Amino acid sequence: MAADGGGPVLLTSLSNCAGCAAKLRPDVLSQLLAGLPNVRSKQALVGYDTSDDAAVYKLSPSMAVVETVDFFPPVLDDPYAYGQIAAANAMSDIWAMGAKALFALNIVAFPKDLPIRMLKEILAGGADKAREAGIPVLGGHSIQSPEPKYGMAVTGLVHPKKILRNSGGRPGDRLILTKPIGTGIATTALKRGVAAKNLITLVTRQMAQLNKAAGEVFVSGKFKVNALTDVTGFGLLGHLLEVARGSKLRAQLQLEHVPLLEGIPQLAAADVVPGGTRTNLAHVAKWVKFPAGLPEHVKLVLADAQTNGGLLAAVPAKDEHKAVAALLKAGVFAAVIGELQRGKPGIEVV
């Protein structure tokens, strides 16, 4: 894409942080939220106090509205693909709560000196992902900004008794992840010009993949799901820690079973790592017990900031095989990466 009267414009060159790596650190968010007044409501079923994926507000005994918002700077140079990924990422939180998506609103920040056709491609990518999800985009809001940003506010519905929170895990639950990790490192490699072509293709496809099919399997009723979240900007360790602490349990993460995108360990070992990933590791380190001698780059991979990562579910041990089979039948990747155990809340990597 060329700028009007100039050379090619690389979207990633305009972003300070790529994708969900642009999130504020969890500890910073805690400090910010701790100072805000919290108006209590009996109808508010899920708020920010549990670090869950979306807000839930009860409308009636059988209906609750689910609301989420997500946007970020460019993660790729292709405007259309960037739009797809940002939209898919924004919608993911609805399915992570066990809800059904209803509609979306666009959120746009765009530099005034970039060609408007570039923004049109971004919006087209988002619209196509909304169409794939079966929901309309009913409007939105736009502003001028030196750094482009795009995302959506998404509304959904769920039965108040069928909400899937990130804090309901039980001892013995198996942890199931529906996408490999490594997107933050991969997109950093792309931005630095060191990403292999096959990795660019793979990571683009994965980040644009909706979590709808996985979410529908987890709410199908064919097996029990005690906790559910999606893995995004805080990385696998960060989101697993929220599940463990929210459930008041210890998560055992089996390193050899954690699925990775091809070439990610090698890139991390070569110091191709986004700043958000380093921040994630620094934040979770005091709650994570790593094996003695585990290389730093492996720890960074586990903390890598993901953009539209997979869903992470806590499922009773007796339902593990049934859950994996149902996911695979629906065309969804599935890996059992550990379990929840009694003990001091935190994570043990083995």
Q: How many helices (H) and strands (E) does the chain have?
A: 11, 13
Coil, strand or helix at 132: helix
Radius of gyration of the chain (CA): 19
Please state whether 343 falls in left (phi above 0), alpha (psi between -120 and 50) or beta. Answer: left
Interatomic CA distance for residues 229 and 239, integer angstroms: 7
Interatomic CA distance for residues 154 and 92, integer angstroms: 9
Q: Tell me how many degrees the CA angle 7-206-182 measures, rounded to the nearest 5.
A: 90
Residue 17 annotated in active site: no
Collect all residues with Cβ–Cβ distance below 8 Å to 65 and sequence separation of at least 6.
56, 57, 59, 155, 156, 157
Catalytic residue from among 11, 17, 18, 20: 20
In 3D space, the residue among 210, 204, 252 whose CA is nearest the CA of residue 230 turns out to be 210
Interatomic CA distance for residues 293 and 253, integer angstroms: 16
Report the relative pairing of strands 137-144 and 311-315 from DSSP bridges: unpaired
In 3D space, the residue among 87, 93, 53 whose CA is nearest the CA of residue 71 turns out to be 87
Interatomic CA distance for residues 217 and 337, integer angstroms: 18
Query: Backbone phi, then psi, for 310, in 5-degree steps?
Result: -80, 175
**Joined tokens for residue 247:** 């459930």
- Residues 103/127, Cβ–Cβ less than 8 Å: no
- Residues 147/14, Cβ–Cβ less than 8 Å: yes
DSSP 89-119: HHHHHHHHTT-EEEEEEEEEEE-TTS-HHHH
Show which residues are catalytic. 20
